[in-house]
Each structure stands twice: as structure tokens, then as C-alpha cells.
Amino acid sequence: MINLKRAFSFALTDFYRNKGISVSAIFVLTLTSLLVTGLFLTHGVSSYLIDTIQNKIDITAYFKESTSEQDILSVKDEILANAPNTKSIDYVSKEDALSDFLQRHKESEVFSKALIEVGGNPFLPSLNIVTGGNTTQYEKIAEILEGQQFEDIIEKVDFSEKKATIDTIFSITRSVNIVGLLLGLVFVFIAISIVFNTIKLIINTAKEEINTMKIVGASNWFIKAPFVIEGGIFGLIASLVCLLLTVIAVLALTRFISVILPGFSLVSYFFSNLFLILLIQIAVGVGVGVVSSIIVVNRHLKV
Amino acid sequence: MIKFQNVTKIYPPSTTVLQEISFEVKDGEFISIVGKSGAGKTTLIRMILGLETPTSGEVFFRGQNISSLEGDYLQDVRKKIGGIHQDYRLLLNKTVFENVAYILEVEGLDDIEINSQVPKVLEAVGLSDKLNNFPEQLSGGEQQRLAVARAIINHPDVIIADEPTGNLDPYNSYEVISLLEKINKVGKTVILATHDKEIVNKLGKRVITLEEGRIIRDESKGRFLI
Ligand SMILES: Nc1ncnc2c1ncn2[C@@H]1O[C@H](COP(=O)(O)OP(=O)(O)OP(=O)(O)O)[C@@H](O)[C@H]1O
Ligand SMILES: [Mg+2]
């Protein structure tokens, strides 16, 4: 207990006396932490992008007004039988379509008035199909819906997104992800080696000190603890600095990102993942700080 | 208490520093090890602390073969020996006070004890007004006296002093040596390595003379003769 208290006080004194070294260690740890946080946020943005694209209704089939629900469901079964990986097929009846529409435009009188003027329910029953971005499935479904088999009951098929666009977006996100991952790995590797070398530098200057401590009889634990604690303090401060910088960056970038990606709010993504992000930052900062001190001190303890 | 048995030290590839050294230091003895520069005094002393291992032969501390000790067992032996090193071996990142206090902290003493003992020892070596200086802010002689204070703070059974007066003026040399004599009088063992002829002759205690890695003389009331 008294030893632990001492280890802390040694660590704090050393931290204060070697300000230059402390600052540089915190700097590199902050950099690493920022990098990992950046990767996390980028991942969030890109998976949102992919999700939105994949969940877009890409085919809507409208049926003739008199078509029975049974017939429509048989079309659905036919599609599922031929394209089993289809993400979703939802049957929307005339009534559902109407109430959906009213729900969506309940604030606008113009629409409701227009509806009354038309009289009755102008909507057609439909199947909303999400293929999930698989091109062959997409083609198969299109084939079924446009073929002769259901010619009589289908009013029209709406390919809301052009297939080509979907394809390009997919190939872009895929390559962005691969490049991002590779870049991320490279950066993490560079960061770790910088951190390691900085801490090595710090402890190399303490090499004589560690030697002397051994000569006067201090146990390994007694020598090691202050360095490890110091590494932890570096990491903790680095995570706090990193958190602060991240918040600033998120606030600054949110607008920009919501322009490119309508519907995505970086701020709310950040705050809803705050706990996880905090955990990552502390784990990276403190983890790297502590582990590298342990590795380097151990090297010098062999006197 | 300390025993050298046929100890030979050869630094690779072929620098023979000590050859077939055998002697024993009894509890409470004051023993001087003398010899020219390069005779092997420091090497011999470092072996007692387990900082060098003999190429052949054994060094015993209270019956334990030092080179067979590892980890905390070796550290326990080092704790029982107060070492004054030729190159001082001070903790450069700690103040004068903290350097001495560190020894007591290693032993797990509480702060009250430390705060009362450390100033007394620093007073005894004349460093009372430098408590908050760092070693680099001390003169050579002051650093040496700090090394002495650190070696005696925890009342070790053995003091090993490698040239403890090398950097001191005659007055301070006399102070340090009489401090060692005082410690010896209360029953502690002192091993002193030096090439200061005057000191050795004045002491009138056992002297081991090293030459070219061998013991050429071992006399109980020895003189410095080379
Ligand atoms: N690590 C080493 N590698 C090779 N040779 C060494 C090493 N350490 C010491 N020596 C040699 O061993 C010899 C004895 O050195 P040592 O330091 O024991 O002498 P000393 O008697 O203490 O001398 P001084 O009075 O100058 O302190 C010297 O010739 C030195 O060059
Ligand atoms: Mg020497």
C-alpha cells in the first residue's frame, strides 16, 4: 500500500520533472488515439452509406387495381423461389398505401384536398422489393416481373434506382473500404512504432537510473511500477486530449458531412457511440502507454 | 562473512583482471584493498554485489554463492550492503534528499521515519544545505559525500567503499574515513578500496595488496607498499 502510494508519487514527480519528454509522449499517444478514433468514425459513415444504399427500395411492382391479394402474394412467392437472397419484399395494399400517404403528408392540406377531389382511393396495390445490391438477383427479379407470366396483373414496374448507379456506388464503397482499411493499418503501424520509439527514448535516458536502482537493492516491481504508472498517466492525458479534439472535429465536420450524406448526423452518431469511443480512446492511449513502458523497462532490468 | 574462493575474472576475449583470488572477510573487520590503477579493485568489489560474475571460482556472502542468486534473493543481498561506488551511481533525477530517502523507501519505511533519519545522515556528511539540489548541481566532492550518506543510511552490516575519498580534499577525506571507522567500531564490516597511501597507513588495519590481478600481500596490520 505504502509502496503503491510511493510509485504514484515517483511517477508524478518524474512526469513533472521531465516535462519535455512527457509532452512528446502524450503527443504521440494522442496521435495514435486520434487515428483509431478517426478510423472508427469513418467506419460509421461508410457503413451508414452502405446501409442506406442496400436498404433503398430498388424495385416497386404496381398491380392492376382489381388484382387479388392472393395473386400478388403468389408473385411474391415466385420471386422468393427464384431469388432467395432478396432482402425484403413487402406487400402494400391499396389501403395501406393510402394511409401511408396520409400519414406522410398529414401536415399538408393541399394533398388531402387533392385526394378528396379525386375521390376514392387512387393508389394501386404494390410489392416493394429490396434486392440488397446483388446484381444477379436484381436481374432475375426484373425478368420475372417483366415476363409474360404476370403480364395480366402487373400495371407497371418501377425501377426506382438505375442499376448502373447502384453498381458504381457499390464498387466505390467497396474500394473505399479496402483502401481505408489498408491506410488505417499502415497508419496504426507507423503510430505504434513512433510511440514505441518515443517511450524507448524516455526509458533509455532512465537506463542508468534503473541500473542504479537495481544496484542499491530495489526489487523489479519497485522499479517498474512508477514507469508503468507514468505510461498510464501519459495515456490517460492523451485520451482526454484526443476526446477534446474529436469533439471539436465532429462539431466542425457534421455540417459538411450532412451535405454529402443527407440524413446522416455525425454529431448524433458520435454521441450515441460516445461510450464506445471513450473506451477505445482510453484503451488505445493507456494500453499503448502502459504496454510500451513495460516492454522497455523489462529490457533494462537485467542487472 | 564474505569469502572469495579461487576467483578468476577474464573479460572476453583475453583480459585477465583477477587470477585465483582467495580471501575471507570476517564480521566486523575493516579491510583495505590497495593496488595500482587497473589492478582490479573495482572489479573485485562489483563481484560482491553480483554486478560481475567470476569467470571461475565463487564469491560467498554469508555462505550464499552470489552468482547463484537471482531476482529478489540477489536484491536482498544488495540491500544488506551499503555500496559507495567509484562513479557514485547517484539517481540524477532525484534530489539529494530523495537519493538517500530512496534506500529507505526500498526497505518500506514510512515517511515519518524517513523524514527524521535522512536529514541526520546528510548533516553528518555536511550536505544539510543542499537537500533540494540535484546531483548535477553538486561538486564532485559533494556527490561523493552524498554517495557515502546513501550507503550508510540503512545501517547495513557491510559497507563497501570504492575510492570514497577520490574526489575529496584532505579535510573531507579525513571526515569520511573517520565516519567509516566509527561505523566499524559499532561492529559493521567495512571494505575499502583505495590508492590513497596516507589513509591506509594511518588506519593500521588489514590490507590486501593486488598486483596484476593477484594478491601479493595480505597483512593484518598492513601498510601501503608498492
Ligand atoms: N567491462 C570490461 N571489459 C573489459 N575490460 C574491463 C572491463 N572492466 C574493467 N576492465 C579492465 O579490468 C581492469 C581492472 O579494472 P578495475 O576497474 O577493476 O581497476 P581498479 O583497480 O578499480 O582501478 P582504479 O584504481 O583506476 O579504479 C582494467 O584494466 C580495465 O581496463
Ligand atoms: Mg576502481
Asked whether the beta carbons of residue A209 and residue B89 sit closer than 8 angstroms, the reply is no
- The answer to the question of residue B13 being in a domain is yes
What CATH number has the domain bearing residue B68?
Answer: 3.40.50.300
Residues from chain B that touch A217, judged by Cβ atoms under 8 A, are: 75-81, 103, 106
Residues from chain A that touch B110, judged by Cβ atoms under 8 A, are: 2
- The answer to the question of residue B224 being in a domain is no
Q: Per the structure, how many domains does chain A have?
A: 2
- The answer to the question of residue A275 being in a domain is yes
Q: What is the mean pLDDT of chain B?
A: 91
Same domain for A182 and A202: yes
Range of the domain at B65: 1-80+191-218
- Average pLDDT of the segment spanning B13-39: 92
Q: Per the structure, how many domains does chain B have?
A: 1
Same domain for A85 and A38: no
Asked whether the beta carbons of residue A217 and residue B110 sit closer than 8 angstroms, the reply is no
Residues of B with CB under 8 A from a CB of A: 49, 51, 71-72, 75-81, 83, 85, 89-93, 102-103, 105-106, 108, 110, 150
Same domain for A271 and A137: no
Distance in angstroms (rounded) separating the CA atoms of residues A36 and A277: 9
| Pick from A4-18, A195-209, B20-34, B210-224: least confident | A195-209
Which range, A62-66, A263-267, B90-94, is most confident?
B90-94
- The answer to the question of residue A181 being in a domain is yes
- Tell me if B144 CB under 6 Å of ligand 1: no
- Average pLDDT of the segment spanning B74-98: 93
Same domain for A46 and A180: yes
Per-residue model confidence (pLDDT) at position B116: 95
Q: What is the mean pLDDT of chain A?
A: 81
Same domain for A240 and A288: yes
Q: What burial class does residue A208 get, using C-beta atoms within 10 Å of its C-beta: 0-12 exposed, 13-18 middle, 19+ buried?
A: middle
In this prediction, residue B2 has a pLDDT band, given cuts at 50, 70 and 90, of very high
* Ligand 1 nearest-atom number relative to CA B45: 18
Closest residue to B89, CB basis, from A14, A18, A212: A212
- The answer to the question of residue B28 being in a domain is yes
Same domain for A218 and A72: no
- The residues with which A61 forms a beta bridge, in sequence order, are A127, A157
Distance in angstroms (rounded) separating the CA atoms of residues A196 and B164: 40
Q: Which residue has the higher pLDDT, A189 or B187?
A: B187
Contact status, residue B40 vs residue B200, Cβ threshold 8 Å: no
Q: Which residue has the higher pLDDT, A127 or B224?
A: A127
Task: Report the residue of chain B nearest A210, measured CA to CA.
Answer: B91
- The answer to the question of residue B61 being in a domain is yes
pLDDT at A41 over 90: no
In this prediction, residue A301 has a pLDDT band, given cuts at 50, 70 and 90, of confident
Distance in angstroms (rounded) separating the CA atoms of residues B10 and B18: 7
Distance in angstroms (rounded) separating the CA atoms of residues A82 and A65: 26
- The answer to the question of residue A74 being in a domain is yes
pLDDT at A138 over 80: no
Ligand (nearest to CA of B46): 1
- Average pLDDT of the segment spanning B159-167: 90
- The answer to the question of residue B171 being in a domain is no
Q: Extract the C-alpha cell encoding B149.
A: 550518506
- Average pLDDT of the segment spanning B130-138: 94
**How many CB pairs lie under 8 A apart between chains A and B?**
55
Of A152, A182, A203, at which residue does a domain stop? Answer: A152
Per-residue model confidence (pLDDT) at position A157: 80
Of A95, A124, A152, at which residue does a domain stop? Answer: A152
Instruction: Tell me the one-letter amino acid at B83.
Output: G
Distance in angstroms (rounded) separating the CA atoms of residues A6 and A222: 9
In this prediction, residue A101 has a pLDDT band, given cuts at 50, 70 and 90, of confident
- Average pLDDT of the segment spanning B106-127: 92
- The answer to the question of residue A160 being in a domain is no
Distance in angstroms (rounded) separating the CA atoms of residues B224 and B204: 10
- The answer to the question of residue B8 being in a domain is yes
Residue nearest to atom 5 of ligand 1 (CA): B11
List the strands of the sheet with B15-25, edge to edge.
B15-25, B2-11, B56-61, B64-65
- The answer to the question of residue B182 being in a domain is no
Same domain for A291 and A173: yes
pLDDT at A14 over 80: yes
Same domain for A268 and A130: no
- The answer to the question of residue A59 being in a domain is no
Same domain for A42 and A183: yes
- The answer to the question of residue B170 being in a domain is no
Same domain for A226 and A141: no
Distance in angstroms (rounded) separating the CA atoms of residues B4 and B18: 11
pLDDT at A135 over 70: no
- The answer to the question of residue A159 being in a domain is no
Range of the domain at A226: 2-53+169-300
Can you give chain B as a three-state secondary structure string? Answer: CEEEEEEEEEECCCEEEEEEEEEEECCCCEEEEEECCCCCHHHHHHHHCCCCCCCEEEEEECCEEHHHCCHHHHHHHHHHEEEECCCCCCCCCCCHHHHHHHHHHHHCCCHHHHHHHHHHHHHHCCCHHHCCCCHHHCCHHHHHHHHHHHHHCCCCCEEEEECCCCCCCHHHHHHHHHHHHHHHHCCCEEEEEECCHHHHHHHCCEEEEEECCEEEEEECCCCCCC
Same domain for A92 and A47: no
pLDDT at A248 over 80: yes
Same domain for A34 and A89: no
- pTM attached to this predicted model: 0.75
- The answer to the question of residue A60 being in a domain is no
Rounded to two decimals, the ipTM of the complex is: 0.90
Of A102, A118, A152, at which residue does a domain stop? Answer: A152
- The answer to the question of residue A58 being in a domain is no
Q: Of the candidates B226, B182, B178, B179, which has an alpha carbon nearest to the alpha carbon of residue B202?
A: B178
